[in-house]
C-alpha cells in the first residue's frame, strides 16, 4: 500500500470548466509577416484506412505562450518551462470600458489597486488576465489589429509600470490577454513582454472566453507543445472555476 504524504497533495476545486483557447483555422488573425496557418490532407480513409492532415503555423499564432528567447538571444526556449509553472491560480481584470473608449489604453497601477479594493489582494503566484473585450473582434482581423494608415496597430495592453508593480510587489506568475499582445499594439518595443519573460514568467496572448470567468477563484492549466528551442507555442488554456 502506498503511503501518501498529504502535505504534497494538491487539489483543484471547481464548479465549471472554461476553455480559453481560440479555434485554429486558416483565417485566424495573423501578426504581420508571420507564417499563415495551413492544413494539408495526407491520408484519406477511402485510400489509406485513416484520415490524417499535417499543419503548419507560427509559434506565436492562435492562443499561444511566448518564451524568453523570442526577445532575448540568451533566453531559454519553451521546452524549458517546468510543468508546475503551467498550472496556476488566476484573476481577471476587466478594462473593457476604458479599452473601447481608448484602444491604446494600458493597464495602470491604479487599475490594479482598484481591482484589489473591490475584490482581494492579488496573491503571489497568480496569473493576471486582462479582459479588454478584443476577443469579440477575433473573427474580423481588420478590427482585431485596428491598424492606422501607417500600419501601426491600436489595441490595449498592460502598462509597463503596472506590469513591473505586479511582478515586484505581487510576485505574479505571469500575465495574459485576449489581444495579440500583452503590450499595447502601438508599442513596437515589446517592453512588457521583455520585462515578464526576463524572469521566465508566463505570457499568454489571444485568449478566448474571458467573459465567462469571474474576477477570481480560477485555476488555469496551460498545455504547451514542448518544441525544442521554441520561441513559444500554441497552447490549450483551460480554466477551472471555483
Residue 4: pLDDT over 80: no
pLDDT at 44: 98
pLDDT at 5: 52
Q: Which of 179, 214, 182 is nearest to 90 (CA)?
A: 214
Residue 7: pLDDT over 80: no
pLDDT at 8: 78
Residue 239: pLDDT over 50: yes
Length of the chain: 242
- pLDDT tens string 150-176: 999 999 999 999 999 999 999 999 999
Share of the chain above pLDDT 70, in %: 97
Structure letter (DSSP) for residue 167:
H
**Residues forming beta bridges with residue 218, ordered by sequence position:** 90, 241
Share of the chain above pLDDT 90, in %: 95
- pLDDT tens string 223-233: 999 999 999 99
Average pLDDT over residues 187-216: 97
Architecture (CATH level 2) of domain 13-29+59-241 = 3-Layer(bba) Sandwich (3.50)
β-pair type (202-205, 174-177): parallel
Residue 18: pLDDT over 80: yes
Q: Domain extents for the chain?
A: 13-29+59-241
Residue 1: pLDDT over 50: no
Query: How confident is residue 144, by pLDDT bands cut at 50, 70 and 90?
Result: very high
- The dihedral through the CA atoms of 142, 145, 147, 151 has a sign that is negative
Instruction: Find out whether 93 and 129 touch, Cβ atoms under 8 Å.
Output: yes
- Whether the pTM exceeds 0.75: the reply is yes
Q: What are the backbone angles phi and psi of residue 65, rounded to the nearest 5°?
A: -120, 140
- pLDDT tens string 124-143: 999 999 999 999 999 999 99
Query: How confident is residue 205, by pLDDT bands cut at 50, 70 and 90?
Result: very high
Residue 55: pLDDT over 70: yes
- Residue 18 CA to residue 20 CA, distance in Å, equals 6
**Mean pLDDT for all residues in the chain:** 96
Residue 6: pLDDT over 60: no
- pLDDT tens string 72-119: 999 999 999 999 999 999 999 999 999 999 999 999 999 999 999 999
Amino acid at each position: 500500500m502506498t503511503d501518501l504524504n498529504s502535505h504534497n497533495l494538491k487539489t483543484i476545486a471547481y464548479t465549471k470548466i472554461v476553455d480559453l483557447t481560440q479555434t485554429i483555422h486558416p483565417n485566424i488573425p495573423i501578426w504581420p509577416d508571420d507564417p499563415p496557418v495551413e492544413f494539408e490532407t495526407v491520408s484519406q480513409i477511402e485510400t489509406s484506412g485513416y484520415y490524417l492532415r499535417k499543419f503548419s503555423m507560427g509559434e506565436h499564432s492562435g492562443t499561444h505562450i511566448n518564451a524568453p528567447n523570442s526577445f532575448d538571444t540568451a533566453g531559454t526556449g519553451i521546452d524549458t518551462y517546468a510543468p508546475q509553472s503551467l498550472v496556476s491560480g488566476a484573476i481577471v481584470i476587466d478594462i473593457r470600458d476604458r479599452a473601447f473608449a481608448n484602444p491604446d489604453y494600458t493597464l495602470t497601477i491604479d487599475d490594479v489597486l482598484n481591482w484589489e479594493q473591490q475584490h482581494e489582494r492579488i496573491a503571489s503566484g497568480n496569473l493576471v488576465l486582462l479582459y479588454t473585450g478584443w476577443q469579440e473582434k477575433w473573427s474580423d482581423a481588420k478590427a482585431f489589429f485596428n491598424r492606422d494608415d501607417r500600419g501601426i496597430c491600436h489595441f490595449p495592453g498592460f502598462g509597463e509600470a503596472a506590469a513591473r508593480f505586479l511582478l515586484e510587489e505581487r510576485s505574479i506568475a505571469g500575465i495574459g490577454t485576449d489581444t495579440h499582445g500583452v503590450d499595447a499594439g502601438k508599442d513596437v518595443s515589446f517592453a512588457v513582454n521583455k520585462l515578464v519573460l526576463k524572469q521566465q514568467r508566463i505570457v499568454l496572448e489571444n485568449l478566448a472566453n474571458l467573459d465567462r470567468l469571474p474576477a477570481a477563484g480560477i485555476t488555469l492549466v496551460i498545455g504547451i507543445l514542448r518544441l525544442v528551442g521554441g520561441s513559444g507555442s500554441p497552447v490549450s488554456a483551460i480554466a477551472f472555476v471555483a
